Amino acid sequence: MFCYLFYYTGRQTFGFAIPGIEEELGLSKTSLGWASATLLWCYALGQAVNGNLGDAFGGRRMMSLGAVLSFGLNWVVSFATRLPGLVIPWGLNGFAQSMGWAPGSRVLSNWFPSTERGRVYGLYTFAAGSSSVLAFAMSTLILDLELNWRWIFRLPVLLLLFAGIVYYVVARDRPEELGFPALEPEVEGSPVERSRDRYLAALTNGRFVTASVAIGFQNLARYGLLIWVPVHFLGSDWRSSDAKWVAVALPVGMALGALSSGYLSDRLFRGNRSKVIQLFLGLAALSSFAMYGLPRESAYGVPLLFLCGFFAYGPQAAFWALCPDLLGRARAGTGTGVMNAFAYLFAGFGEPLIGWTIESNGDQTELVFLIVGGACILGALVSLGIRR
């Protein structure tokens, strides 16, 4: 949790930099949408690879290495003067960032049994949501200090570097490495399985693939909010906008939503993750449609944006708990990586679509909420096929 608390400072600050990059480098929203998509697709590719490597070599090394590499690549991005100088290191940063979540999930699955997974993954996802709060707050503070967009890629990631080093020193992959007894073995999977077998087990499991498509729509909605809500509230007068702090309500809602859904899936729904997913995504769609019709300066913006984040991100804890639930603990890293690859492939398609839609309609940034609401509805419908 401590390490992932700082991971998003390496990739979720981009939306706050968009107005400054547009102004200084003369790039369009559509082009910047493709730059964001590059990171997400490289992240998806990395998830498919690094989750399996986490199963094979342990999550501790992978997660720490990803933090250090992401720190360096963010600094490279901060010196960009043209689109290629922005896109190439930002894409490589996506791959580095993918070394965190799935390997970290494998470590958790080694330490906690199935009866605790909803809460444990809820706490882990809460740390990720809190990381979004940190990334949003630090980016907003940098703009308040009247530093230019380049410092958005330089200052927040100092915390990520520190967290990666601390994690490597403190964490261990398995309980037995610290003298505790290992968890009881599970029926599914084997610690000595080959990589090919782990991938086949994931991709031939119908309920798991259905869950992976559902999280794709959920993550499209999530990143639509994370990248374009700051653009919406910064507005054209982005340097002195009084509304920019409103955007912080989004990740605060996301953090608390993740914590709540993990607990609900364990206790209220007794491990039936799909019901939690459907409930949260349905309410996320309603919240997003309400945001579309709301003026930027409305006093209802903060509570409604909080609800958007709460319900749009909340289902993630239930999704991640499905990986060891459906595939077994020995395949948890591979399963998490494959599922996250689906999630970020979908999210990558959403970024240029949203950028193009806004630009083609006279910079009506509120259109992001219509696209997000539609994606949430599709995710809820697909999740009907999970049926644990």
**Is the pLDDT at 186 greater than 70, yes or no?**
no
Asked whether the beta carbons of 315 and 276 are under 8 A apart, the reply is yes
- Specify if 330 maps to a domain: yes
Asked whether the beta carbons of 37 and 351 are under 8 A apart, the reply is yes
What's at 304, amino acid-wise? L
**Is the pLDDT at 280 greater than 90, yes or no?**
yes
Per mean pLDDT, which range of 133-137, 139-143, 325-329, 368-372 is the poorest? 325-329
How high is the mean pLDDT of the chain?
87
Predicted pLDDT at 241: 59
Prediction pTM value: 0.77
- Specify if 321 maps to a domain: yes
- Specify if 180 maps to a domain: no
CATH number at residue 155: 1.20.1250.20
Asked whether the beta carbons of 377 and 281 are under 8 A apart, the reply is yes
The rounded distance, in Å, linking the Cα atoms of 314 and 376 is 12
Angle between helices 117-144 and 101-111 in degrees, nearest 10: 140
- Specify if 127 maps to a domain: yes
- Specify if 189 maps to a domain: no
- Specify if 177 maps to a domain: no
Tokens of 245: 């702090």
Check residues 114 and 227 and name the one with the higher pLDDT. 227
Structural domain for 249, as ranges:
4-171+196-385
Predicted pLDDT at 113: 84
Check residues 45 and 234 and name the one with the higher pLDDT. 45
**Long-range interactions of 72-80: CB distance < 8 A, separation 24+:** 73/10, 74/10, 74/153, 74/154, 74/157, 75/153, 75/154, 75/157, 77/153, 78/150, 78/151, 78/152, 78/153, 78/154, 79/150, 80/25
Going from the C-alpha of 131 to that of each of 1, 41, 255, 265, 374, the distances in angstroms are 10, 21, 8, 23, 26
**304: how many CB neighbours lie within 10 A of its CB?**
18
Going from the C-alpha of 33 to that of each of 30, 147, 282, the distances in angstroms are 5, 23, 26
- Specify if 191 maps to a domain: no
- Specify if 239 maps to a domain: yes
- What is the end-to-end Cα distance of the chain in Å, rounded? 27
Q: Which of 8-22, 65-79, 233-247, 344-358 has the highest mean pLDDT?
A: 65-79
pLDDT tens per residue across span 157-178: 999 999 999 999 999 999 999 9
What's at 132, amino acid-wise? S
